[in-house]
Amino acid sequence: MEIGDIAAELGLPVDRVWGWGLSTSSGSAISKPTSVDEVARILTWASEHGVPVAFRGSGCSYGDASQNEGGIVLDATAFARIKSFDIDSGLLVAEPGVTLEQIWRRSVPMGWWPPVVSGTMYPTLGGLLSMNVHGKNNWQVGTIGSWVRSFRLLTVTSGELLCSPEENADLFYAAIGGFGMLGCFTEVTLQLKKIYSGCLDVEAIATPDLQHMISFFDTEKDNWDYLVGWVDCFPRGKRLGRGLVHAARYLAEGEDENPRESMSVDAQDLPMHLLGVVPKAVMWRFLKPFMNNFGMRAINAAKYHSGVFSQTRGRPHRQSHAAFAFLLDYVPDWKKAYGKGGLIQYQTFVPRERAHEVHPQLIALCHDAGMVPYLGVYKRHRPDSFLMTHAVDGFSFAMDFKVTAANRERLWQLTHRLDGVLADAGGRLYFAKDATMLAETAGRIWPAEVLGRFKALKERYDPDGLLQTNLSRRVFPEFTDGTAG
């Protein structure tokens, strides 16, 4: 069925849907349900007409995870009420379109913080669960799925099911991290974390190369609640992978003299102006002239050297939870500074014993190909019980690449070379960041037994393959082969 006919029959607009990195887009009929009944109505209609449906939250996945060329995109951002929040237990019950921002604004003044957050506050619960998001504390507390007590999932074949580690457990462990393939999250019960201050104690430490950063993460990991490394990908040789680590810990009860003040929403809000004068909204325009190899080499070097100069090892400073967690939200729309072609992020998860060798090798391969990432971010992870998990007992390295019409094909080829190294090392990729993975890579990365179990659930809850995205068709065509669409 043509997209115009779908839209006309359902009374929906047709629009272009973009990946967050602005490097991929596709045309779809867009539905914005506000209730379970409305989601069910669209699914029933789509099922009767064999039209594929993709779910979408805030569209913060970098690539094509919530796009559906020629089909329906079911955007859950208006299905977004917090149903209840228990101030004593920290249990939140909410609809799938509720964002991290909505959650912390409600919970912080009562002394609770979302235990796992992404680097931006705009993702929705549905998106966070579907990707099983990790934070800068992944090795300590697991992914968001570890904090989900239960959820309701509207499936194509079996209606709305309550899932928890005790009830429909197979679906619980597969739909979390199941990239929207098994049903629509319609209600989520999430445990938040008790806090005694709106601030964290933060230290900044310079690391002269990637080996030092990895060693720091390994030896210091028990001393901190959060660790994140910024990596300058430009230098080679002895300074390869130099960077800055930011380490943070929660304050214990009584350490903050005025918790009521630090836990106010005002104290958490990010500033509207940078350096007190420049409105944040225009900042990305100032970055744009620097978004080339020359400019980014200079910015990365300046950041590293100023970090060496101002490091605070042993002298913690206080920073609000939101300021520490959502650094990437300081400059709204910074992705636009990358220009017309946008950016891709390539995040690799490598087992601990191989990271020392594999991550420097990936940087070297980028240099050899003449495409150096403009931003590198390092994190520590731990494995978990979710079926399609990306987390390993090891490290992740995320690299941001500028995409242009001239480099696009070469860049995709480069990521395929990196995929080979990663797969050989027992590493994983992450659907939330992916735009380039080939089906054969996915087949090497996820064990056949895992893919078999996921496929069996797909056949049980969506046998006609109604739920599809551009990503699922690219990476796992066997889940939806010869079905809807």
Ligand X SMILES: Cc1cc2nc3c(=O)[nH]c(=O)nc-3n(C[C@H](O)[C@H](O)[C@H](O)COP(=O)(O)OP(=O)(O)OC[C@H]3O[C@@H](n4cnc5c(N)ncnc54)[C@H](O)[C@@H]3O)c2cc1C
The reply to whether 328 sits near ligand X by the rule CB under 6 A is yes
Which of the residues 389 through 408 are near ligand X (CB under 6 A)?
none
The reply to whether 58 sits near ligand X by the rule CB under 6 A is yes
Which of the residues 220 through 279 are near ligand X (CB under 6 A)?
none
Minimum distance from CB of 114 to ligand X (Å)? Answer: 12
Angle at 462 between CA 55 and CA 36, to 5 degrees: 50
The reply to whether 134 sits near ligand X by the rule CB under 6 A is yes
The size of the interface with ligand X (CB under 6 A), counted in residues, is 33
The reply to whether 68 sits near ligand X by the rule CB under 6 A is no
Contact 201, 249 (CB under 8 A): yes
The reply to whether 60 sits near ligand X by the rule CB under 6 A is yes
Please, which residues bridge with residue 29 across strands? 14, 72
CA distance 128 to 176: 9
Minimum distance from CB of 259 to ligand X (Å)? Answer: 26
Of 180 and 360, which CB lies nearer to ligand X in the complex structure?
A: 180
The reply to whether 147 sits near ligand X by the rule CB under 6 A is no
CA distance 409 to 401: 13
Of 127 and 342, which CB lies nearer to ligand X in the complex structure?
A: 127
Minimum distance from CB of 69 to ligand X (Å)? Answer: 14
**For ligand X, which stretch binds (CB under 6 A), given 104-112, 123-131, 264-272, 288-296?**
123-131
**For ligand X, which stretch binds (CB under 6 A), given 2-10, 132-140, 359-367, 410-418?**
132-140
Of the chain, the end-to-end C-alpha distance in Å amounts to: 8
The reply to whether 383 sits near ligand X by the rule CB under 6 A is no
**For ligand X, which stretch binds (CB under 6 A), given 57-65, 101-109, 190-198, 288-296?**
57-65
Of 36 and 240, which CB lies nearer to ligand X in the complex structure?
A: 36
Structure tokens at 39: 């989601």
CA distance 180 to 468: 8
Minimum distance from CB of 41 to ligand X (Å)? Answer: 15
Minimum distance from CB of 305 to ligand X (Å)? Answer: 25
CA distance 139 to 131: 17
Which of the residues 78 through 97 are near ligand X (CB under 6 A)?
96
The DSSP bridge pattern shows strands 278-279 and 273-274 to be antiparallel
The reply to whether 55 sits near ligand X by the rule CB under 6 A is yes
Which of the residues 162 through 181 are near ligand X (CB under 6 A)?
179-180
Among 124, 207, 396, 468, binds ligand X (CB under 6 A): 124
Minimum distance from CB of 429 to ligand X (Å)? Answer: 12
The reply to whether 458 sits near ligand X by the rule CB under 6 A is no
The reply to whether 332 sits near ligand X by the rule CB under 6 A is no
Among 10, 76, 213, 331, binds ligand X (CB under 6 A): 76
The reply to whether 184 sits near ligand X by the rule CB under 6 A is yes
The reply to whether 206 sits near ligand X by the rule CB under 6 A is no
The number of angstroms, rounded, from the C-alpha of 218 to the middle of its chain's C-alpha atoms is 23
Nearest to 366 by CA among 243, 242, 240: 240
**For ligand X, which stretch binds (CB under 6 A), given 23-31, 129-137, 242-250, 267-275?**
129-137
Binding residues for ligand X, per CB under 6 A? 20, 54-61, 65-66, 76, 96, 118-120, 123-124, 126-128, 130-131, 133-135, 179-180, 184-185, 328, 432, 469
